[in-house]
Structure formats: C-alpha cells, structure tokens
Amino acid sequence: MSVSRPAAVIILAAGEGTRMKSDTPKVLHQICGETLLGHVLATARETDPVRLIVVVGHRRREVTEYLASHAPDVQAVVQHRQGGTGHAVRTVIEEVGLDHGTIVVTYADAPLLRGVTLAALVREHQAREASATVLTARASNPTGYGRIIRDDSGAFLKIIEEADASPGQRAVDEINSGVYAFEAHLLGDAVKRVPTDNAKGEEYLTDVIAILRAEGHHVASVTLDDPDEVLGVNDRAQLARARQIFNARLLDTWMGAGVTIVDPATTWIDTGVSLGRDVEIGPGTQLEGRTEVAAGARVGPGSQLRDTTVGEGASVIQSVCREADIGAGAVVGPFAYLPPGSKVDAGGPAEGMNESGIGAGGQMTGTGRDPAHQDPGGQGPGGQGFQGQGFQAQGFQAQGCQAQDAGGRHAGGQDAATSEGAQGA
C-alpha cells in the first residue's frame, strides 16, 4: 500500500511554559544546538506534509520571528486565547480550511520524537483506514499521563485522564503521548463538538477521540518501543534530561560512523557538527554550531570549539576556539584561545595572527586571550607562560559527513495533569 503525504502536520506551540521560569519562550530553548521547535520541525518534515503549521499564542512575536528566519515555509496560526489543545486545532481548521487527507498533530515541546516514529504513525493510520490513530507508550512511571484503556480483546477503547481514573485504571502503564493522526473531514466535524465541562473549562483534543469512538468510527493505536520519545519538556530538569538523551543518540551515531569518543558522559556535540573517520574526541569536550573536524584529527581533552574547522591530523588540546580555521597537522594548545577569524596554518609561522593572540614568531600574547581564562600578567592557568606553535599554510579538505537521523524526538510534552502537550505550562 502506498502512503499518501499528510495534508498537514500541526505543531502546537501556544502554551505559556510558566514552569521554565524564563524570559525565553519555552519552545525556543535549545538542546544540542537547536531549539525545541526546530527539532520538532525537522521531525515533521520527515513525513513530507503538504502543509506545515505551527499554532502560536503566548510570546507569539518571538516565535513567529524565529519561524520567519529559520522556517519561512511554515504557516503560523494564532490562538488568541489559551482554550486547550482542541481549541488550538479547531482554530487551525477554521482558518486554514483543512477538509481532506491525513492531519498529524504534535507538540513543539517534544524534541525527542523520531521522524521514523511519526512516519510510522501516518503509515499505520492509513493502512488501518482509521478515523484517528493514537501514539502510545508504556512507562515505568505513568504518573501524570492519560491512560490508554483497552477492551478484553486488546482493542483501543478510550483515553482517561489520571484525575478521572479509578485505582485500577491508574495501575495501567500504557500512556497517551498526545500525538495523533486524524482524517481531516472527521476531525473537522468532531472538534466543533468538544465539550468544556472540565476543571480548566478547555477544549481537549482527547475528547475528539472519545466522540469518534462513540459514533462508531475506528480508532487505532501505535505503541512506541522507546518510551524516552514521550518525555515532556516543561521545566529545566526535563530540558536537561532531553538534552542528555538527544546527545547520547548523536554520540552513538558518530561512534557508529568510525569516531572515537573517549568519554561519552562528558562529551557534547551539536546537531550541525561534522566529523570525519578516525577522529578522536577526548573527555570534557564540546563541539558546537557548524564545527567540522576532518579525518584523523584529535580534539580534547578539555576543549570547546564553535563554528571551527579542524584539518586532517590536527590536534586541539585544552583550548577554546571560535570560528577558527585550524590547518592539517596543526597543534593548538594547551590553554589556547582562538577568537573569531583566527587561522592556524600547517608547517610554519602563522601570519596575520597578532590580533588573535599568536605572534609572528608563534608566541601566544595576552591580546587575544579569552578574559575568562586570563590571569594577571597574561599567564596561563598553571601560573606560567606558554608558547604557541606556528605552522606553514596548507589547505585541506574536511572529511566529515553529516549525521543522519542522529537525533530522535519525543512525543507529547505532557503537562503534569493531562495529556495536553505544549499548550500547557
């Protein structure tokens, strides 16, 4: 069976995110060099939707400005009041006019949901000719999540919120991720009839599932193998946990591609980093932005590189580099700081480096040292000066390859009390 492109993926990003306690909108916080919203957009694109729609509300100016500069093809729809996830989806349907095809709904605070998972949801939804398909997972600690209730045959019966669940239902470990696939014409009709007789007086998307099921429409489900994909990001602790998981996936991908990572627990790599074969990354190292490290180079221990190019066979030891170009075979550090525009050539004195803190004779000076690493007298952390090394200019070709499907993003971004996602705090 061929799978049709989703008519739209709707990403809910209108929630206030109060538990982050931040001046930055929750969905614009970053993990591994990309915003939460940016990760979710990348996941959504893997389904190749006809339309990609983001619902904005709280702090919508910042979010729409982000979309304009990073994803200009995305349509932003404003939810003027926080009326719940059902209200957000109804707002999209009424404004955009979606009336046919498959509609996927996911959340902007869900960076760990993998693209292959969302694609599988669409595929199963269409194969089963369902009116709606719910993405579920089994959690060792399901507290705070809506539970999936099934009949004696194992077929999907309903979603029940924890606050309304009986003790027996609370013992169920299968949870609602809050991510769904719908048939557009049925969704458009049902979402108009969602009740608001709940504690918050809001329209919940879970009630659309109940309406469709009550009217005899087939509701299917897809269960995740990896429960980490349904972890929510509602506060700083959850943000840190999501960062750890995403970073671990990136490291696993690079190690599988032939990169040695000496200590994965202290190594952090952004999604835009490119690494060649036989690169070795030492402990306590951060590679950020669009850093490229060519084959056979060694970075670390104790180094931080941002938007820096490292040539074949070069070494960077206990150094901080910003937008620097390090030639093949060059040695940088220990305790070096290369500011933006620095160039270290291979094989001889580095020319034009005075402003970057490397003199014509190869000696480090105080002018280019990072103030955070500068002690009185311009000496290094060990209390004595050190010599930089000059090198002859030599070009190189970066041997990196971009990590493919290195990440993985979660579904749902659950609020503590409901299966409502990024619409919540």
Residue 177 CB neighbour total at 10 angstroms: 33
275 with 380, same domain: the answer is yes
pLDDT tens by residue, the chain, 425 residues: 677 999 999 999 999 899 999 999 999 999 999 999 999 999 999 999 999 999 999 999 999 999 999 999 999 999 999 899 999 999 999 999 999 999 999 999 999 999 999 999 999 999 999 999 999 999 988 988 899 999 899 889 899 888 888 999 999 999 999 999 999 999 999 999 999 988 788 999 999 999 999 999 999 999 998 999 988 899 999 999 999 999 999 999 999 999 999 999 999 999 999 999 999 999 999 999 999 999 999 999 999 999 999 999 999 999 999 999 999 999 999 999 999 999 999 853 333 343 444 433 333 333 344 434 433 333 333 333 333 333 333 333 333 334 444 444 333 333 333 445 444 44
Q: Could you give the number of structural domains in the chain? A: 2
Task: Indicate the pTM of the whole model.
Answer: 0.82
229 with 265, same domain: the answer is no
3-state SS, residue 112: strand
User: Cβ distance 150 to 219 under 8 Å?
Assistant: no
199 with 345, same domain: the answer is no
3-state SS, residue 313: coil
Residues 213, 221: Cα–Cα separation, whole Å: 13
55 with 198, same domain: the answer is yes
User: Cβ distance 175 to 160 under 8 Å?
Assistant: no
**Rounded to an integer, what is the distance from CA 59 to the centroid of its chain?**
20
38 with 168, same domain: the answer is yes
Please indicate, yes or no, if residue 64 is contained in any of the structural domains.
yes
Please indicate, yes or no, if residue 164 is contained in any of the structural domains.
yes
Residue 25 sits at φ, ψ, to 5 deg, of -55, 140
**Sign of the C-alpha dihedral, residues 213, 135, 137, 201?**
negative
Q: What token pair was written down for 336?
A: 């070096």
Q: CA torsion 39→40→41→47, rounded to 10°?
A: 120
226 with 340, same domain: the answer is no
342 with 396, same domain: the answer is yes
Please indicate, yes or no, if residue 339 is contained in any of the structural domains.
yes
Please indicate, yes or no, if residue 342 is contained in any of the structural domains.
yes
CATH classification of the domain holding 75 = 3.90.550.10
Please indicate, yes or no, if residue 154 is contained in any of the structural domains.
yes
Please indicate, yes or no, if residue 417 is contained in any of the structural domains.
no
Please indicate, yes or no, if residue 374 is contained in any of the structural domains.
yes
Q: What token pair was written down for 132?
A: 């709606």
191 with 221, same domain: the answer is yes
Is the N-terminal amide bond of 111 cis, ω within 30° of 0?
no
199 with 310, same domain: the answer is no
- Domain holding 82, by residue range, is 8-236
3-state SS, residue 137: strand
DSSP string, 41-54: HHHHHTT--SEEEE
User: Cβ distance 221 to 133 under 8 Å?
Assistant: yes
204 with 276, same domain: the answer is no
Please indicate, yes or no, if residue 262 is contained in any of the structural domains.
yes
DSSP string, 142-186: -TTSPEEEE-TTS-EEEEE-GGG--HHHHT--EEEEEEEEEEHHH
269 with 221, same domain: the answer is no
180 with 32, same domain: the answer is yes
Residues 257, 277: Cα–Cα separation, whole Å: 7
CATH classification of the domain holding 268 = 2.160.10.10
